[in-house]
A and B are shown apart, each in its own frame.
Chain A
Amino acid sequence: MKNIFINPGQLNKLSEFLSPWLAIISFIFLIFGLWLSFFYSPIDYQQGNAVRILYIHAPSAWLSMLIYSFLAINSFFGLVFGHVTAFTLARAAAPIGLTFTAICLVTGSVWGKPMWGTWWVWDARLTSVLVLFFFYIGYIIFLKSFSDFTKGEKFSSILSIIGIVNLPIIKFSVDYWNTLHQPASISKFSSPSIHIDMLIPLIVMFLSFLFLFLYILILRFQAELIIRKININNMKFYKDS
């Protein structure tokens, strides 16, 4: 088991096997989730049918934070233990996290215009999510801005570990400060402040997005592994000549 995390070849083989399954599971959840969110879910007593935006907004927000933790943890293991797999997984995860953060920001904005009366405000929650977006961009730019790719990996890993302090700020911003953004509805498991008929589509959509993330992660992992091979080959070539 331990070998899987150290030896990228093993994970690569496993990912070839997993890839179609993840795609199928994600797709099934997606169809089911879309049906739930458009036909099964009742309208909200205040928001009307605008509540349906929640079913893509909240899962992508959760994923943007989950993927960032994944990125930072992998960067940590990459830095400390020098595992190629960890570095490659972090590399592969970054664009996916960036996309989910963008989706979270845009759908939130589209919800905010009719509900709050504004596209954007600079309150603590919205600003800290925007900072998360910039951390993703910074990570990707750092990766690509060194001719020696291992150097870029090191710097961007440090950046991503620094960015982890932003996650608790995002999570607790709505509780500590007065914000326009509402506090979390599902923070208490015993009695969430969201009706069960709205909770089910939310969770199904989250599962769909989660499997979609794993599918794209594996896809990009394979690509990044090949790119790494090419890069190492090039470096050897320059050293020899």
Chain B
Amino acid sequence: MKDYSIYILAAYSFCFLSLILLIFLSKIYLSKSEKKLNEIDKNG
């Protein structure tokens, strides 16, 4: 039976890197929107 470790590594790393990126971007999105809201509250 052949060893497919490289393919497994590629698949898992793509999967988890993209999920981590998604969480990271979502967190940034949330903090940015909160900042914006605070600015508006201060000004208006």
Contact = CB atoms under 8 A, between A and B. Distances in A.
Direct touch of chains A and B (CB < 8 A)? yes
Interface of A: 43, 47-50, 52-53, 56-57, 60, 95-96, 99, 102-103, 106-107, 110-111, 113-114, 212, 215-216, 219-220, 222-223, 226-227, 229-230, 233, 237
A107 B7 CA distance: 9
Contact of A114 (B4, B18, B29): B4
Contacts of B3: 48-49
Contacts of A57: 11
B30 A219 contact: yes
B7 A114 contact: yes
A233 B22 CA distance: 28
Contact of A216 (B11, B14, B23, B44): B23
A53 B26 contact: no
A227 B33 contact: yes
Contact of A106 (B11, B34, B44): B11
Nearest to B34: A226
B14 A107 contact: yes
Interface in B1-44: 1-5, 7-8, 10-12, 14-15, 18-19, 22-23, 26-27, 29-30, 33-34, 36-37, 40, 44
A230 B26 contact: no
Given A47-B4, A53-B7, A229-B37, 15 more contacts: A48-B4, A49-B3, A50-B7, A50-B8, A56-B15, A99-B19, A106-B14, A212-B19, A215-B23, A219-B30, A223-B29, A223-B30, A226-B36, A230-B36, A233-B44
A16 to B, nearest CB: 11
A220 B22 CA distance: 10
Nearest to A103: B15
B4 A50 contact: yes
B5 A49 contact: yes
